[in-house]
């Protein structure tokens, strides 16, 4: 699952973007000031940054320059209410990948997000097969033992995360970040509960517990 950081201080706009991306299966985190964006924007934690230029404390252009100065390469889409060519050029020169002017429609933002997250090698696979389980992320259909598994949206996202990392041990914290978008307490047992749900629907041996470390999908 792709992870997107949203740096936007206007509550209505932040909620609009957050819910819109979340409904399309992206994991999101919202921060409301430039200092927070500088502190947490990294290639290791996020695949894309959506950055408002009019942030409090540290403006968006300064945030962009700082994360580029320290070597972060994640794509950045800048949001601006300013319909001024100079501001857009300045943002692109500072290292932005794209920009979008407010107000905008969700479909336009989603299209720009897809372009920035597109795999340069020719597109991501849409069908995964691991240990006799097949997952089609385009049709959102999962099959186990030749039968369709009826999964909730959260179960589907967790299974997708496992199948994109076959044989790899994923910690509870990693699964929380990928599936719930950083919204849950790391001490929560929600990961264990959902692993149990998947085992009942896919087979008890589909997901292995690695004591003290987390879980992994059996290849």
pLDDT digits (tens, 9 = 90+) for 123-146: 456 788 998 899 987 778 899 988
C-beta of residue 4 within 8 angstroms of C-beta of residue 27: yes
C-beta of residue 20 within 8 angstroms of C-beta of residue 110: yes
Q: How many angstroms separate the Cα of 129 from the Cα of each of 126, 145, 148, 165, 194?
A: 10, 12, 14, 11, 20
Same domain, 19 and 66: yes
Same domain, 74 and 16: yes
pLDDT at site 175: 83
Q: Which of 117, 143, 164 delimits the end of a domain? A: 117
Alpha helices in 118-169 (DSSP H): 153-163
CA distance 175 to 159: 10
pLDDT at site 185: 64
pLDDT at site 105: 84
**Helix/strand/coil percent split, the chain, to 5:** 40, 20, 40
Burial class (CB in 10 A: 0-12, 13-18, 19+), 153: exposed
Phi, psi at 101, each rounded to 5°: -95, 130
In a domain, 134, yes or no: yes
Residue with tokens 């857009």: 88
The CATH number of the domain holding residue 24 is: 3.40.50.2300
pLDDT at site 122: 43
Tokens of 203: 């087979």
The total number of structural domains in the chain stands at 2
Query: Digits of tens for pLDDT over the chain (219 positions)?
Result: 789 999 999 999 999 999 889 878 899 999 999 999 999 999 888 999 999 999 989 999 999 999 999 889 899 999 987 666 777 788 888 999 999 988 888 888 988 998 898 744 344 567 889 988 999 877 788 999 888 999 988 898 889 889 888 888 988 887 877 777 545 566 678 899 999 999 999 999 999 999 989 999 988
Of the chain, the end-to-end C-alpha distance in Å amounts to: 20
Domain holding 164, by residue range, is: 127-217
CA-wise closest residue to 117 among 211, 48, 35, 206: 48
**Pairing state between β 133-136 and 141-144:** antiparallel
Tokens of 177: 């970040």
Q: Which of 74, 99, 117 delimits the end of a domain? A: 117
In a domain, 122, yes or no: no
Same domain, 182 and 87: no
pLDDT at site 6: 97
Same domain, 15 and 39: yes
């Amino acid at each position: 699952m792709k992870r997107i950081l949203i740096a936007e201080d206007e509550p209505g706009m932040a909620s609009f973007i957050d819910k819109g991306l979340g409904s399309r299966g992206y994991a999101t985190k919202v921060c409301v000031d430039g200092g927070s964006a500088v502190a947490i924007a990294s290639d290791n934690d996020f695949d894309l940054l959506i950055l408002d230029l009019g942030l409090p404390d540290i403006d968006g252009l300064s945030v962009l320059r700082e994360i580029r100065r320290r070597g972060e390469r994640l794509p950045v889409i800048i949001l601006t209410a300013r319909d001024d060519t100079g501001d857009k050029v300045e943002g692109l020169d500072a290292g932005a990948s794209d920009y979008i002017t407010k107000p905008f429609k969700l479909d336009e933002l989603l299209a720009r997000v897809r372009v920035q997250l597109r795999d340069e090698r020719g597109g991501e696979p849409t069908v995964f097969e691991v240990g006799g389980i097949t997952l089609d992320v385009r049709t959102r259909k999962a099959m186990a033992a030749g039968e369709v598994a009826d999964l909730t949206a959260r179960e589907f996202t967790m299974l997708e995360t496992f199948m994109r990392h076959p044989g790899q041990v994923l910690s509870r914290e990693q699964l929380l970040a990928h599936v719930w978008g950083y919204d849950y307490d790391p001490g929560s047992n929600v990961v264990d509960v959902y692993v149990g749900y998947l085992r009942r629907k896919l087979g008890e041996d589909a997901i292995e517990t690695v004591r003290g470390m987390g879980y992994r999908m059996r290849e």
